[in-house]
Amino acid sequence: MQLVLTAGRHELLFVSPRGEVRRTVRILPGHRTLFSEAIFPDSLVVTSREEIAGSAPGR
C-alpha cells in the first residue's frame, strides 16, 4: 500500500480482526518518507481527516 500524505506528523493505525499496529511518522516539507510495516493479512481500510491518495501495487 502506498499513501501520499502532506508534510507533518501523522498517526497511522492499521486494524484487522487479528490485531492492530499503531505508528507515528513525520514527513518533512519537500521530502519523501518511506515507511514499511508488516501487518496481519486481511482487508485494509484507510480513513483520514485530510485528503490522501493511495494505491496498492498489483491490485
SS3 50: coil
Name residue, grid cell 485494509: 44
Cα separation, 42 vs 40, whole angstroms? 6
List, for residues 45-58, the tens digit of each pLDDT value.
Answer: 677 777 777 777 66
CB 5 within 8 A of CB 51: no
pLDDT for the residue numbered 59: 56
pTM check: above 0.85: no
List, for residues 18-37, the tens digit of each pLDDT value.
Answer: 888 888 989 899 988 887 77
What residue segments make up the domains of the chain, in order of their start? 2-55
CB 16 within 8 A of CB 40: yes
Q: Which value, to the nearest 10 degrees, does the dihedral of the CA atoms of residues 35, 11, 17, 54 take? A: -60
